[in-house]
Chain A
Amino acid sequence: MKTGSDAVQTHVKPKKPIYWSRIIISALSYLVLIIGCLVVLIPILAVIFGAFKDSKEIANTSALAIPKNWVFDNLKTAFIDGKVLKGLGNTAVIIVISCFGTIMTGTMTAFVIQRFDSRMTRFIKSAFLVATLLPNISMQVTVFQIMYKLGLYRTFAAPIVLYVGTDIISIYIFMQFLSQIPTSLDESGIIDGASYPRIYFSIILPNLKPAIATVLIIKFVGIYNDFYTPNLYMNENDPVVSTVLYSFISGKRTQWEIVFAGIILCIIPTLIMFLSLQKYIYNGLVSGAVKE
């Protein structure tokens, strides 16, 4: 394909000026991309180098100097003493429970609202729609009182309940996707004598798999990177990834080499996920945002 169109272009347009301007444009294009990548990578490079220096070296050398002798102790210190391990574990627990909860409540809500058109479901749909308007972070001023009264403050339940209960984007993604699954599929189930719960579990849920994958990715990224919810509601002794990192710099003395090691450890899971699911991530995150 490519060579074909190239050949056509060179045959049809052999004029030199266009040829030169194309070269300049493509050189400029690469320049822009390379500068962009350097801007992204240089700050991260400083972290990688810093994580492998000992405390003396990091204080005396510049940020972009390559470590003289690579020290791996910082990683170990951050992982165990710095509680990164604990943070990763707690984050995993919260992600698994919240994702399960979101998928169950999200698909069920979407199923009822999308398939059973009645005054009640239309009312509930618009209630969810109104809820998307409310600004998330500043709402915590009053959500906090409710959490406190319910006794959820400083428990794992607080973030989980918020991740499941205030996630309206997921419901939208499921509804959007459901509207593309033909109702004739449900009807054929009805003809076979399947009950509605049966239709939900053996027809709707399996067909929603791509939407579930999208929601899982959005949820993972959102929860893994969320800072203010765990910072506000969780016990400092039971940190998640974000609050572990925050605790590194909120103390009196910041040991930068340990902080950097902690950052690397916390970014590795994200990097692995990104490299293995790249295509789904691009599509998933963008489709999640376009629903807004």
Chain B
Amino acid sequence: MNNKTGKKVSFKNWIKTYEGQKFYISVLFLLIPVVLLVVFTFTPAVNMIIYSFQDRDKYGADVTWVGLENYRTVFSDAGILSTFKNSLYYLCGSIVQQVLALLVASILCSKIRAKGLFKGILFFPYLMNGVAVSIIFKKFFVKGERGIVPEGTLNYLLSAFGLDPIKWISAESPMLANICLVFVSIWRYVGFDIIMYIGAINSISPDLYEAADLDGANPWQRFKYIVFPSIKPIISLQLILAVKGAISVFEIPYIITGGTMNTSTFVIDTINTAFSKNKVGLASAMAVILLVIIIVVTLLQKYLFRESNDKVKRSKRKGADKR
């Protein structure tokens, strides 16, 4: 008895000390976030791997083990494999997007009037609701039918210039349809990259510009020898993120075409397989494959960036030596 009460008292005292406070604060503060992390991130991740070897439906009834069957299906299904081809459109699109963003960002960093207005207009699509954006472009690309459907905005513009209307998004030309969807994606996201590059360019020391001006550098030389080398790490980070982005495209094609007309992406296929076709096992296998791809790309990014960080450090050291 004595001992027990003695222990209790000491526990009471201990909890009041900073050591004790640290303990109960840690438990109290971390309890909810860690429970949420385990329940909604790690459990589903583990389940994903388990389910990928099973044949099961949305609600988990009728589970049978099928071994590697799901993975075999993914790699032999022509429809699923063609989504990787579609990802290439988005990958090329994001390269175009980076180039455009860099061009506009360097223009907006030079002496220009109404900078804020241009910046605001170009950035605003990024804040717009994705469903709204998708609907806007669903209408934008419409091919009219005489007396039934009026031409969409784009075809109207074409006819204003005396050109014939085009079937932009149709099963006849999956390539054109995909390019249109990539255009929407660029339209929506390029503003964000512009803002990011503006930030990066503005963080370059003004001394460098002055030196360039003294040497009589033209804007292109200024970009090539000062801006580009300084923001190279950000550009390469963006390109790696673009790989991840290209394979996880979902919203815009899902809403505009629903993944029909050969415009589906891997994630759309995954979600449709799980929730429309009710094949959760197969969808889990697809999710695992996506996860593996993303992990590989991330590791690559970590590896490449360690290298570029070292280079930055080395060049700094060299600079210091010269001084």
Assess whether A281 is interfacial by the CB under 8 Å rule: yes
B residues less than 8 Å from A282 (CB atoms): 119, 123, 195, 199
* A202 at interface by CB-CB < 8 Å: no
Segment from A71-79, A92-100, A106-114 that makes contact with B: A106-114
Please give, as numbers and ranges, the residues of chain B lying within 8 Å of A120 by CB-CB distance.
26
Asked if A242 and B136 sit within 8 Å, CB to CB, the answer is no
Describe B's contact surface by its main secondary structure. Answer: helix
Residue from A42, A128, A139, A195 in contact with B21 in the complex, judged by beta carbons closer than 8 Å: A195
CB closest residue in chain A, given B234: A290
A292 CB contacts on chain B under 8 angstroms: 241
- In the complex, the answer to whether B122 meets A64 with C-beta atoms within 8 Å is no
Shortest CB distance A82–B (Å) = 13
State whether A140 touches B271 (Cβ < 8 A): yes
Give B269's nearest chain A residue, CB to CB.
A138
Main SS at interface, chain A:
helix
- Look across to chain A and name the residue whose beta carbon is closest to the beta carbon of B29: A108
Residues of B within 8 A of A164 (CB): 36
Check B227 for interface membership: any CB of A closer than 8 A.
no
How many residues of B sit at the interface, in one of the four size bands? 35 or more
Question: Which residue of the partner chain, among B32, B40, B251, B267, contacts A105 with CB atoms under 8 Å?
Answer: B32
A278 to B127, alpha carbons, bound, how many Å?
A: 11
Listed A/B pairs (27) with beta-carbon separation below 8 Å: A21-B218, A29-B110, A33-B112, A40-B121, A40-B122, A43-B187, A62-B150, A64-B157, A108-B33, A109-B33, A116-B22, A124-B34, A139-B45, A141-B48, A142-B47, A143-B40, A143-B44, A146-B40, A146-B47, A148-B59, A225-B129, A245-B131, A266-B129, A267-B128, A274-B124, A285-B192, A292-B241
- A274–B123 Cα gap in the complex (Å)? 10
> Is B174 in the interface zone, CB < 8 Å from A?
no
Contact indicator A133/B37 (Cβ below 8 Å): no
Q: Give the nearest-CB partner of A106 in chain B.
A: B33
Residues in A whose Cβ lies below 8 Å from that of B156? 62-64
Closest to A108 in B: B29
CB-based contact B40/A200 at 8 Å: no
Q: Are B120 and A278 in contact (CB under 8 A)?
A: yes
Does residue B290 face the partner (Cβ distance < 8 Å to A)?
A: yes
B residues neighboring A (CB under 8 Å): 18, 21-22, 25-26, 29-30, 32-34, 36-37, 39-45, 47-48, 51, 58-60, 103-104, 107-108, 110-112, 116, 118-132, 135-140, 149-153, 156-157, 187, 192, 195-196, 199, 213, 216, 218-219, 241, 248, 250-251, 254-255, 267, 270-271, 274-275, 280, 283-284, 286-287, 290-291, 294-295, 298
CA distance A109 to B41 in the complex (A): 16
Report if A162 contacts B (CB, 8 A).
Answer: yes
- Whether a CB of chain B sits under 8 angstroms from the CB of A165 is yes
Partner of A145, one of B25, B47, B149: B47
Number of CB contacts from chain A to chain B under 8 A: 264
- State how many angstroms separate the Cβ of B106 from the closest Cβ of chain A: 9
Known: A29-B107, A62-B156, A135-B290. A112 touches B36 (CB 8 A): no
- Residue-wise, chain A 252-288 has the 8 Å CB interface mask toward B (1 for contact) of 0000100100010011001101100010011001100
State A142–B271 Cα separation when bound (angstroms).
11
A112 to B280, CA, bound (A): 38
Q: Are A166 and B36 in contact (CB under 8 A)?
A: yes
Residue from B25, B48, B125, B290 whose CB has the most chain A CB atoms within 10 Å: B25
A266 to B133, CA, bound (A): 11
* Complex CA distance for A5 and B50, rounded to whole angstroms: 66
For the complex, is A13 an interface residue (Cβ under 8 Å from B)?
yes
The 7 closest A-B pairs by CB, nearest first: A165-B36, A108-B29, A142-B44, A138-B287, A63-B153, A245-B131, A46-B153
Question: Which residue of B has the minimal Cβ distance to A162?
Answer: B40
Of the residues B32, B137, B199, B270, contact of A43 by C-beta under 8 Å: B137
The smallest beta-carbon distance between B17 and chain A, in angstroms, is 10
Indicate if the CB atoms of A286 and B195 lie closer than 8 Å: yes
State whether A133 and B129 are in contact (beta carbons under 8 Å apart), knowing that A141-B48, A166-B36, A259-B135 are contacts in the complex: no
Query: Which residue from chain B places its CB closest to the CB of A101 in the assembled complex?
Result: B32
A112 touches B124 (CB 8 A): no
Q: Which residue of A lies closest to B219 (CB)?
A: A25
Q: Are B30 and A227 in contact (CB under 8 A)?
A: no
Instruction: Please tell me if the beta carbons of B150 and A165 are within 8 angstroms of each other in the complex.
Output: no
Which one, B36, B118, B124, contacts A161 given CB within 8 A? B36
Q: Which residue of A lies closest to B288 (CB)?
A: A138
Q: Across the two chains, which residue of chain A brings its CB closest to B198?
A: A282
- Chain B residues contacting A271 (CB-CB under 8 Å) are 124
Asked whether B30 lies within 8 Å of A109 as measured between CB atoms, the reply is: yes
User: Which residues of B lie under 8 Å from residue A286 when comparing CB positions?
Assistant: 192, 195-196, 199
In the bound assembly, the distance between CA atoms of A59 and B142 in angstroms comes to: 13
**Closest B residue by C-beta to A25:** B219
Could you tell me the distance between the alpha carbons of A227 and B149 in the complex, rounded to whole angstroms? 28
B291 touches A135 (CB 8 A): yes
Q: Contact check, A30 vs B132: say whether CB atoms are below 8 A apart.
A: no
CB-based contact A196/B48 at 8 Å: no
- Residue contact B271 to A141, C-beta cutoff 8 Å: yes
What distance in Å separates the Cβ of A284 from its nearest Cβ neighbour in chain B?
A: 11
Check: A131 CB closer than 8 A to any chain B CB.
yes
- Interchain CB contact (< 8 A) of B280 among A47, A136, A145, A166: A145
* Contact residues in A for B135 (Cβ distance below 8 Å): 245, 248-249, 259, 263
- Chain A minimum-CB-distance residue to B47: A142
Does A44 lie within 8 Å of B44, measured CB to CB? no
A13-B216, A141-B284, A196-B18 given; name 10 further pairs at CB < 8 Å.
A33-B107, A36-B104, A46-B139, A105-B36, A116-B25, A127-B37, A139-B287, A141-B287, A142-B44, A259-B135
